[in-house]
Amino acid sequence: MKLDAKIPAGPIEKKWEQHQLDMKLVNPANKRKYKVLVVGTGLAGASAAATLAELGYQVEAFCYQDSPRRAHSIAAQGGINAAKNYQNDGDSVYRLFYDTVKGGDFRAREANVYRLAQVSVNIIDQCVAQGVPFAREYGGLLANRSFGGAQVSRTFYARGQTGQQLLLGAYQALERQVGLGKVKMHARHELLELVVVEGRARGIVVRDLVTGEVRTHAGDAVVLATGGYGNVFFLATYAKGCNGTAIWRAYKQGAAFGNPCYTQIHPTCIPVTGDHQSKLTLMSESLRNDGRIWVPKQAGDKRPPAQIPEDERDYYLERKYPSFGNLAPRDIASRAAKEACDAGRGVGPTGLGVYLDFGDAIQRLGQGAIREKYGNLFEMYERITDDDPYQVPMRIFPATHYTMGGLWVDYNLMSTIPGLFVAGEANFSDHGANRLGASALMQGLADGYFVLPYTIGDFLARVKPEPLAADHPAVRAAEAAVRARSEKLLSIRGKRTVMSFHRALGRIMWEHCGMARDRQGLQAALQKIPALRAEFWENVNVPGTGASLNQSLESAGRVADFLELGELMCRDALEREESCGGHFRVEHQTEDGEARRDDQRFAHVAAWEYAGEERAPIRNVEPLNFEFVHLATRSYK
């Protein structure tokens, strides 16, 4: 497979501008002749669908929820970055670019990241114009906060509901186009197959989740904006329906999968309480601005936190990383929590937890100020745990939160299948091996509002709008495959539920492909996953029929795909014999336990190519060149 990233020539600050000039345009009168299918209407998909429709293309959009307003983006709490430098604290496009490349542990493509930093400023303007109620100062100007891994205040926020407000802005722009008849929205529809005709993405097969009808929609280009695949771990901060199905189907049709092993484990989530648990809840990273993280110095110290005197507490992040302290990047903070717990210093009933303590901040700023900043998060915590964080420190533990890996895309966000574009968390592009806080919302909206609408135009300008016959052999074959798979799942009637398989897979992934990975564990996982998958296809019980709403069938299809995707993640983790960002290989660490990269051998993207059911996938490589930011050991000390 040939990987051409299509990075424009020229100085980094001019690449995007020049590229925009070089791209072909579709004549305004011709735009309505082209149809773009947008799968997923989270931040990336809704913003792309709305903007493409504003430009005049015909758009059909799809999501599995009952309304596009419920996409998982809605749950983002903390904020969105932009290089506005409104705080006059030395921020700039270049600094955001630099921080993001460094934060990603030098495993992202420079040109993409620079463009992201450039358009970040437009995103804020766009959202303000839509009426997104960002937090403001008394003078009426926009407020900012700082976020993990950055030393400037560049994060814009709307209380603890930034994702909600940004998504509603994009959703309203989308609904406006629906009202104008420019977008046809298909809610409660799930993509189950991609239709590729003569090497080009030409359509999708979807199942109407209410009627069970399986149907093909044809288009001149397809956008996948279907979010991340972190639910492979079962317990994660994702919404329950988040899935890897769309990108996995595309992978099996020939789209390369970039860096599947790069997953983000977020340091501040509410710890697991028992076997009934169905998901983990994030406590926004913004809490680390005022909360101090600590564990007892003494292993096995079971005293209540208030009885542990100051000098018997270990504020380990402040101790190990004095210049970033509690704001150390996520991968580093997560691993440090794991280390403390592995050493027997974890707190709470399970010993898998550390304190996030607001005692000092409340004393310094007063309870009112803390309530104003974090009230809704404190409330959420109290609801779930029955503890009052104004009185006792929160208990937190790392949990799976984001996937930096995803479908490989070039500078135009096009996958290795021509006509298939991938946006938002579903692609692998901008975050390298670790994502900094408040940068996923930025990337999703950058892709959807400001990148795709141009690059898709360039693609469409080079192809003729063509109908695709409903009885085209490729369409028939794709539909038949979807039906056969559903029928197979419904016919097994075994002895285990879908959820029990999902939990079992999650346990394997967390144990062997979680916060710390090693050769032996990954090899064990590569034995266990195929065995579990084989059992799934013999012993799963999916009740009901495919001819109506059937939530068991929906999740069975998703888990079946996770059972394959999980294996690719482990394979990628095994081959990447270095530690970088969220990918920590125990064999590759420095004396003081920090990640040790191997730039000689691994300063590249691993882009996996499907080679067929019985054959091992092929690992292709896109070398990463660092022309502007010098490769350096990441240090937050």
Ligand X SMILES: Cc1cc2nc3c(=O)[nH]c(=O)nc-3n(C[C@H](O)[C@H](O)[C@H](O)COP(=O)(O)OP(=O)(O)OC[C@H]3O[C@@H](n4cnc5c(N)ncnc54)[C@H](O)[C@@H]3O)c2cc1C
- Annotated catalytic residues are 330
Residue 490 in contact with other proteins, rule: CB under 8 A: no
- DSSP category for residue 430: T
Q: Do residues 316 and 332 make contact, with C-beta atoms less than 8 angstroms apart?
A: no
DSSP code string of 339-388: HHHHTT---STTS--EEEE-HHHHHHH-HHHHHHHHHHHHHHHHHHHS--
Contacts with other proteins by CB under 8 A: the residue count is 79
Contacting other proteins within 261-300 (CB under 8 A): 273-274, 276-279, 281
Residue 543 in contact with other proteins, rule: CB under 8 A: yes
What's the closest the beta carbon of residue 68 comes to ligand X, in angstroms?
A: 6
Contacting ligand X within 27-46 (CB under 6 A): 39-45
Pick the binder of other proteins from 15, 31, 69, 435 (CB under 8 A). Answer: 69
Binding mask 334-373 for ligand X (x = CB under 6 A): ----------------------------------------
Residue 592 in contact with other proteins, rule: CB under 8 A: no
Pick the binder of ligand X from 246, 347, 446, 595 (CB under 6 A). Answer: 246
Contacting ligand X within 135-194 (CB under 6 A): 162-163, 190-191
Which residues touch 329 (CB under 8 Å, ≥6 apart)?
103, 148, 149, 434, 436, 636
Residue 500 in contact with other proteins, rule: CB under 8 A: yes
Residue 122 in contact with other proteins, rule: CB under 8 A: yes
Compute how many other C-beta atoms are within 10 angstroms of the C-beta atom of residue 351. 16
Phi, psi dihedrals of residue 312, rounded to the nearest 5°: -105, 10
* Closest to 315 in 3D by CA, of 591, 324, 515: 324
What is d(CA 149, CA 289) in angstroms, rounded to the nearest whole number?
Answer: 11
Helix or strand (DSSP H, E) at 537: helix 519-539
Three-state DSSP string of 95-135:
HHHHHHHHHCCCCCCHHHHHHHHHHHHHHHHHHHHHCCCCC
Residue 86 in contact with other proteins, rule: CB under 8 A: yes
361's tokens? 């901040």
Pick the binder of other proteins from 92, 539, 541, 589 (CB under 8 A). Answer: 541
Q: What SS3 class is residue 280?
A: coil
Pick the binder of ligand X from 97, 238, 459, 562 (CB under 6 A). Answer: 238
Q: Do residues 31 and 57 make contact, with C-beta atoms less than 8 angstroms apart?
A: yes
What is d(CA 440, CA 404) in angstroms, rounded to the nearest whole number?
Answer: 9
What is d(CA 38, CA 51) in angstroms, rounded to the nearest whole number?
Answer: 11
Taking each helix axis from N to C end, the angle separating 551-575 and 245-252, rounded to the nearest 10 degrees, works out to: 60
Nearer to ligand X, 426 or 509 (CB): 426
Contacting other proteins within 503-522 (CB under 8 A): none
Pick the binder of ligand X from 161, 164, 439, 486 (CB under 6 A). Answer: 439
Residue 270 in contact with ligand X, rule: CB under 6 A: no
Nearer to ligand X, 15 or 558 (CB): 558
Segment contacting other proteins (CB under 8 A): 174-182, 189-197, 571-579, 605-613?
174-182
What's the closest the beta carbon of residue 439 comes to ligand X, in angstroms?
A: 5
Binding mask 140-159 for other proteins (x = CB under 8 A): xxx---------------xx
* Closest to 288 in 3D by CA, of 344, 336, 240, 238: 336
Segment contacting other proteins (CB under 8 A): 312-320, 518-526, 541-549, 589-597?
541-549
What is d(CA 272, CA 277) in angstroms, rounded to the nearest whole number?
Answer: 7
Pick the binder of ligand X from 50, 80, 265, 570 (CB under 6 A). Answer: 80
Contacting other proteins within 386-445 (CB under 8 A): 386
Nearer to ligand X, 58 or 443 (CB): 443
What is d(CA 391, CA 348) in angstroms, rounded to the nearest whole number?
Answer: 16
Residue 72 in contact with ligand X, rule: CB under 6 A: yes
Contacting ligand X within 189-228 (CB under 6 A): 190-191, 225-228
- Binding positions for ligand X, rule: CB under 6 A: 39-45, 62-65, 71-73, 75-80, 162-163, 190-191, 225-228, 237-238, 242-243, 245-246, 282, 401-402, 424-426, 438-441, 444
